[in-house]
Amino acid sequence: MADAGAGSLHGGDAALPCPPEEQELSQRLRRLYPAVNQEETPLPRSWSPKDKYNYIGLSQGNLRVHYKGHGKNHKDAASVRATHPIPAACGIYYFEVKIVSKGRDGYMGIGLSAQGVNMNRLPGWDKHSYGYHGDDGHSFCSSGTGQPYGPTFTTGDVIGCCVNLINNTCFYTKNGHSLGKFLFLPSQSNLYPTVGLQTPGEIVDANFGQQPFVFDIEDYMREWRAKIQSTIKRFPIGDRLGEWQAMLQNMVSSYLVHHGYCSTATAFARVTDTTIQEEQTSIKNRQRIQKLVLAGRVGEAIEATQQLYPGLLEHNPNLLFMLKCRQFVEMVNGTDSEVRCFSARSPRSQDSYPGSPSLSPRHGSSNSHIHSTGADSPTCSNGVMSTKSKQSHSKYPTLSSSSSSSSSSSPSSVNYSESNSTDSTKSQQHSSTSNQETSDSEMEMEAEHYPNGVLENSSTRIMNGTYKHEEILQTDESSMEDSCPQRQLCGGNHAATERMIQFGRELQMLSEQLCREYGKNTMHKKMLQDAFSLLAYSDPWNCPVGQQLDPIQREPVCAALNSAILESQNLPKQPPLMLALGQASECLRLMARVGLGSCSFARVDDYLH
């Protein structure tokens, strides 16, 4: 079963909640078989009403099996298989059957069979079929002749069947105790849990994980997991220890650099005598941008990226659109500076700002173009007062401030001129290295108070490619009285809400422009629909698409932007350490899937302490 909520950002009906017993089953199966992808290879959960003989009846959610034939002789035997075969990725699989009634003679068999095996037989009698029978305690392995195995079983007993795909063995349990004799199975996949009955009155109930098992299968799994881990730890390294250590140190160093841990990376490089491939100024620039995105200040992150890495977003329209959609979500949340510059003002001064074209930058260009009423009149760029006005040339529609601005920002006169074709990589490197190097303490974001995610006191700002801490407009004293304000759309500011709606219109224009240039993009359409769907609810934070407002949703956007910056500088867009871990996990998954059972108990996470 797919995890609840997966892919639920669509604006359609919310998925119906699973019953508690179904949730308990799913949790138990995930705990027992973590290596199994249940979307690709579902686990058995019940008996199949389509894969049984006519003399078999099913009830109670297809978990209870009763015999309804004549029961005169062995020709009246009947079996049923589970809905799905045992996935190879289980490593070890287990199920139990409780004998509700032994019926007339107790001719019952519990075991395994492959698809296509005759269901007019008890398990174990035919090829690719295995069973433990209750009337004589014999085990049958692809033969009509059984071998002594264990005690007989009758009404009230619980019989379990365990398949070990690590060493291709099978054993049975009775009332929580292993019968201790291992039967070797041929190395084949696609075995189904199977039960067979032969005389009237025989009734059994299956437990595929719906209830805790009588036998402690988890303890048995722990023993095998310890064996596998011990084998891995004993792997001989030999003379390559130094070579491997140097490789791992370089991988750790590049990981620290990738995520912008500048001080840690420098200290690690000094201790291990490794070389950092990226300059510190560039690392700090990336770290600043990442912190802005993770703080919900996506507009500022876009502006910083365009100033520090000109042309990057112009050449990555999919990334630009994703950032813009995230910026719209943060405007709804009240955290983006496009709406913060309204929310930070007092009620007395807000009336003079709605509709002013100077309240918002154009993020569609490499250099912010800010309208002003005069040559030296101050303008507000992401909530920051500035006296400079720069020209802008952008390939895509610029997301301007409002519809009442000058004609150059109206939809009919959007500038689509081509950007300069200079080498973007060289200009990015020059921009990254030309900034004055700052200390790590200057780079750290200030500890700030966010009611509803909106900054109250001070903020880190970008001026000419560098960051400065400066006071924004004074917060109204009345807003400080409520220490825990209720979350409101765009921070509860009417002018900010109007700005968000205008931004949404411009975002729609950008989507149409990209569609004309590159064709239809289903991902763009979905992102736009998901973001706009937030406005359909009075409380966006508690609605079917409200998870978009969760700060954790900023992380994939941050990672995508960081990778794009690194790639533009001819650096790996993913740290080698993460690639190695991902490759190791994928190899283990694939090997477990094709039947190498030990791989199911070799999890990479177990070694990341």
526 contacts: CB under 8 Å, gap ≥ 6: 9, 10
pLDDT of the residue at 595? 74
Residue pair 541/339 in contact by the 8 Å Cβ criterion: no
Residue pair 103/199 in contact by the 8 Å Cβ criterion: yes
Q: What's the CA gap between 537 and 356, in Å, rounded?
A: 28
pLDDT of the residue at 489? 82
Burial label for 79, CB within 10 Å (0-12, 13-18, 19+), is: buried
Burial string for 346-369 (b: 16+ CB within 10 Å, else e) reads eeeebeebbebbbbbbbbbbbbbb
23-37, 174-188, 246-260, 425-439: which range is least confident on average?
Answer: 425-439
Q: What's the CA gap between 532 and 536, in Å, rounded?
A: 8
- Kindly list the distances between the CA atom of residue 324 and the CA atoms of 103, 175, 215, 525, 604, in Å, as whole numbers in the listed order: 69, 61, 55, 13, 36
pLDDT of the residue at 16? 54
pLDDT of the residue at 555? 94
**For range 333-354, the mean pLDDT:** 59
- The pLDDT of residue 604 is above 90: no
- The pLDDT of residue 566 is above 70: yes
For residue 381, count other CB atoms closer than 10 A to its CB: 25
pLDDT of the residue at 326? 95
**For range 351-374, the mean pLDDT:** 32
- The pLDDT of residue 290 is above 50: yes
For residue 509, count other CB atoms closer than 10 A to its CB: 16
Q: What's the CA gap between 304 and 214, in Å, rounded?
A: 61
For the CA atoms of the chain, what is the radius of gyration?
33
Residue entry with tokens 């099996």: 65
> Residue 499 belongs to what H/E stretch?
helix 494-518
**For range 254-274, the mean pLDDT:** 90
Q: How many CA atoms lie within 13 A of 303 on its CB side?
A: 30
39-48, 290-299, 329-338, 400-409: which range is least confident on average?
Answer: 400-409
pLDDT of the residue at 233? 85
pLDDT of the residue at 189? 66
pLDDT of the residue at 184? 85
- The pLDDT of residue 360 is above 70: no
Residue pair 89/593 in contact by the 8 Å Cβ criterion: yes
Q: What's the CA gap between 7 and 3, in Å, rounded?
A: 9
Q: What's the CA gap between 122 and 144, in Å, rounded?
A: 10
pLDDT of the residue at 188? 65
145-159: per-residue pLDDT in tens? 999 999 999 999 999
At 186, the pLDDT band (50, 70, 90 cuts) reads confident
pLDDT of the residue at 307? 94
209-218, 253-262, 357-366: which range is least confident on average?
Answer: 357-366
**For range 50-65, the mean pLDDT:** 96
Higher pLDDT, 262 or 134: 134
Q: What's the CA gap between 146 and 119, in Å, rounded?
A: 18
76-80, 172-176, 326-330, 444-448: which range is least confident on average?
Answer: 444-448
What are the φ/ψ torsions at residue 574 (nearest 5 degrees)?
-130, 140
407 contacts: CB under 8 Å, gap ≥ 6: 413
Burial string for 228-255 (b: 16+ CB within 10 Å, else e) reads beeeeeeeeeeeeeeeeeeeebbbbbbb
